[in-house]
Structure 1
C-alpha cells in the first residue's frame, strides 16, 4: 500500500480478554500476499506504561463495497477546508438545503420549518451555545458579515476540550419527535490536526458513562467507528456533524429543553476549528 499512514483508535474485545484492532484493508490480487506493517506512536495516555502483548494477526473477510470508500477533500474559494465524502458511500451523501429562514427580533435565534416533514427545525448561533469559563479562554470571536445567519463565529484556541451548553423554549421544536443536533463548523486551511475521533459526553447524565464519538474530518474506513457521526458538506459551504440525538418529549423541563455536552479530542488540540452554531432537525 505504499507509504500510506493509517490511524487505528478503536479495539474490540475478543476471546480470553484479548483485544483486536484493525490495521488495514486490501483485496488480494496475487497468489502470495506480502504484508508489512510498521506500528508506531502508541498513545501512553490510553495504553498506559505497561507492556503491550501481541498474540498474532487475523485476516477477516469484510464487505467488498466498504473497500471502495475514499474520502475526498474540498476547498472553498475562501480557503477554508471542508471534507466531501466518497461518491460510493450513500450515508455520506447528505447535502443540507434550507427552507425560508427568518431572523427573530432577539437577534440570535433562527427558526426554520421543514417543508418535507412539516416538523420544526431550530438553529442557534455559536455565541448562544458555547460555554466558556471565566478562568480559561477557549475561543477567539470573529465577525462573519458575509453570512447573515451567523454574525460571529468562534475560533477554538489550542485546547483539547470545549463545552456546548444552552437551553431554549420547548415550543421551538415539534412535540414527541426524534431530533438530531448538528454542530455547524469549518476547518481552517492551517489546521493540521483533528484527524482523530472526538469523544462527546452528555454532562447531565453523570451516572451514565457512555460516550459517543464523532469526526471533524472524514476518517478512512480503518478509523471509522460510527458511520452516523462523520462530517457532511452543507450547501452554504460549511460542514456539519451530529453531536446529540434526543426525543423532544423526553427532554422537556419547565417548558425548556436543556443540553450540556463536553467534547474532547483523542490527540492534539482543536486549534483551527471554527464553530458557527448548532441546528436541530428531525431524524
Structure 2
C-alpha cells in the first residue's frame, strides 16, 4: 500500500522531522509528496538548534538570514559558513550530520603563559583566520595554554571532542622531538586525563595533526560528555616545560569543540 494515500502530508512531515537531516534529504527523492514534506520548514526547523535565532541575532551576520532563507537552506548555510558571535570572541557552525552546535574560541580568550610579552608571543592578523587576531609564538621555554568553554551553550546529551587549531611557520623548532601534553576536563574535577603527543612529526611518518582544508591544522586534545548543560566549564589545556628545549614558530587560531563523529 502506498503510504502517501494513507497519511496526509503533514503527518509525513511529522514522521520525517523525528529522523535526521540526512534521512530527510534521502526521503526527498522518494516521490513528489515526500519531497514536499521533507523540504518543508516544519521539518528543518526541528533540525536547527532551538536557540538558532538568538545565535544569529548575536552575530555579525545579517539577521535577515532568518527570514530570507528557507529553514533547509538556513541549516546548510550554518553548516558551511561559520558566524562570529559573542563580540568576536567565538565562532559558531552546525555539524552537518547531526545539526548539533560547534564552537571555536579564539586564542585571545585563552590563558597563555607570557602571552602578553611581545618578545615571547605576538598578536597579529591573518586573512585566513576567522578572528581579528591570532597568537604567534616567538620564543618560550614554558609552553602553556588554557581555553575555557561553558557547557550551557553546547548541545545536550552529546560527546564533544576538542581540537587545537593551529599552523606552523616555516622556521619553527622545538615541536619535532619533545611531546607536549593535552588535557580536557571539567573545572573543579578531581580527574583529568592527559596524553602526550609530538606535534610536528616528520612528513614520512603518520601524522597526528590533520589538515582542516581551510589553511589550518588541528589536533585532538580530548573528549567530554555534555549531559545536561549544567556541568559548568570545560578546560582545554596544552602544556610543556623543559628549560633546555625552547620553542618557536607555532600560530594558534583557537580551540574548537564539536560533536564526536557527529553524535
> What value does the CA root-mean-square deviation take over the aligned residues?
3.3
Matches within 5 A, 1:86-125: 99-104=80-85, 106-125=87-106
Partner of 2:248: 271
On the 8 A contact 1:215/1:231 being kept in 2, the answer is no
Matches within 5 A, 1:1-283: 99-104=80-85, 106-132=87-113, 138-144=120-126, 146-147=127-128, 149-196=130-177, 197-201=179-183, 208=191, 211-218=194-201, 230-249=208-227, 252-253=230-231, 256-264=232-240, 268-283=245-260
Cα distance in structure 2, aligned partners of 1:100 and 1:168 = 21
Give unmatched runs, 5+ long, in structure 1: 1-97
Cα distance in structure 2, aligned partners of 1:134 and 1:103 = 23
Cα distance in structure 2, aligned partners of 1:115 and 1:209 = 30
Q: 1:97-136 deviations in whole A, cap 9, x for unaligned?
A: x622112251221111112122211111111124346896
Write 1 or 2 for the structure with the bigger share of helix.
2
On the 8 A contact 1:202/1:262 being kept in 2, the answer is no
On the 8 A contact 2:153/2:229 being kept in 1, the answer is no
**SS of residue paired to 2:155:** coil
**SS of residue paired to 1:127:** helix
Cα distance in structure 1, aligned partners of 2:230 and 2:201 = 33
Cα distance in structure 2, aligned partners of 1:282 and 1:213 = 22
Bigger relative contact order, structure 1 or 2 (CA pairs below 8 A, ≥6 apart): 1
Q: How far 1:280 moved relative to its partner? A: 0.6
TM, length-normalised to structure 2:
0.57
Q: How far 1:159 moved relative to its partner? A: 1.6
**SS of residue paired to 1:212:** strand
**SS of residue paired to 2:170:** coil
**SS of residue paired to 2:108:** helix
On the 8 A contact 1:183/1:279 being kept in 2, the answer is yes
Cα distance in structure 2, aligned partners of 1:121 and 1:105 = 14
Cα distance in structure 2, aligned partners of 1:273 and 1:115 = 30
Give unmatched runs, 5+ long, in structure 2: 1-78
